[in-house]
Amino acid sequence: MGSVLRIVLVSANILLALFIFQNGFLLKRQEISSKSSCSDAHAQPGQPCWMTQQYKRIILILVDALRYDFLIPIDEQKSKNSNSPEWFYKGQMKQVGKLIKSGKASIGTLLADPPTTTLQRLKALTTGTLPTFIDAGDNFSPDATVNEDNFIYQAAQLGKNVTLLGDDTWLSLFPNQFSKSAAYDSFDINDLNSVDDKIAPKLEEEIKSSDSSSIIIAHFLGVDHCGHKFGPSHPVMADTLRKVRTS
């Protein structure tokens, strides 16, 4: 009788643990499909719906897996010691360090809730929502379209053109919403260079073009793929970061 009771108690504990895990870790969320419109702003006649436009163009450059400490300049002593693990990823983007010291740029940290896979983080950046672990399956879903309000949709509603260069995950999230695109496969971690090599000249060309889009998104993958294959403390990471600096 005692052994049966123990089995029942163990089974009950397992079921309770699974219930707590599912409700605390595998959170579900409800998507709000309604979109903001001009009428929501309650603007006076003749006034713009939203804030007055301050810039003619936005260039959003995403360097996948570019950690905060990759941008921090390494101290003088460690910069001379190539055997230090930090040498391979700190201080390699010297141009960024110069911009920060001159006051023309600043760096900060974004604390990303898991899951930190690309698709979920792009959803968070474009919609302002918090993805959940259950959304991780969307990375392999044939239909991962974002149905919530997002800045890509709002740009289109305002008649703005959006150009995409780089990671093809964006096309899964926002199909038929880019006026121009040059997207490439993002799952080949052995490919450290080809995507970045292709989009760097296209980005320069798009910026200089008289027919340039109002929003340009360039998503570089080399650092992410290098991190997966070699880790941060590797000579290839130093080369990849220096390459991003000059892209």
The count of other CB atoms within 10 Å of the CB of residue 177 is: 18
What's the pLDDT at 139? 54
Contact in structure between 177 and 156 (CB atoms under 8 Å): yes
Longest CA span, the chain: 84
93 against 222, higher pLDDT: 222
d(CA 66, CA 108): 12
Q: State pLDDT tens for residues 181-238.
A: 999 998 888 899 999 999 999 999 999 998 899 999 999 999 999 999 999 999 999 9
d(CA 30, CA 144): 15
Give the 3-state secondary structure of residue 171: helix
> Is 106's pLDDT higher than 70?
yes
Q: State pLDDT tens for residues 134-176.
A: 665 555 555 788 989 999 999 988 889 999 999 999 999 999 9
| Residue 138 vs residues 142, 199, 229: alpha-carbon distances, Å | 8, 25, 23
Instruction: Assign 244 a pLDDT band (cuts: 50, 70, 90).
Output: confident
Contact in structure between 179 and 161 (CB atoms under 8 Å): yes
242 against 111, higher pLDDT: 242
Q: What is the mean pLDDT of residues 81-88?
A: 74
> Is 77's pLDDT higher than 50?
no
Instruction: Assign 122 a pLDDT band (cuts: 50, 70, 90).
Output: very high
What is the percent of the chain with per-residue pLDDT over 70, rounded to a whole number?
Answer: 82
Q: State pLDDT tens for residues 32-66.
A: 888 888 777 766 666 667 777 888 899 999 999 99
Q: Cβ contacts of residue 116 below 8 Å, gap of 6+? A: none
Helices (H) and strands (E) in the chain, counts: 10, 4
What's the pLDDT at 25? 63
Contact in structure between 60 and 216 (CB atoms under 8 Å): yes
What's the pLDDT at 136? 57
Give the 3-state secondary structure of residue 24: helix
What's the pLDDT at 91? 83
**How confident is the prediction for the chain on average, in pLDDT?**
83
Instruction: Assign 247 a pLDDT band (cuts: 50, 70, 90).
Output: low
What's the pLDDT at 4? 77
Q: Which structural domains are found in the chain, ordered by start?
A: 50-243 (3.40.720.10)
Residue 219 backbone dihedrals phi, psi, to 5 degrees: -115, 105
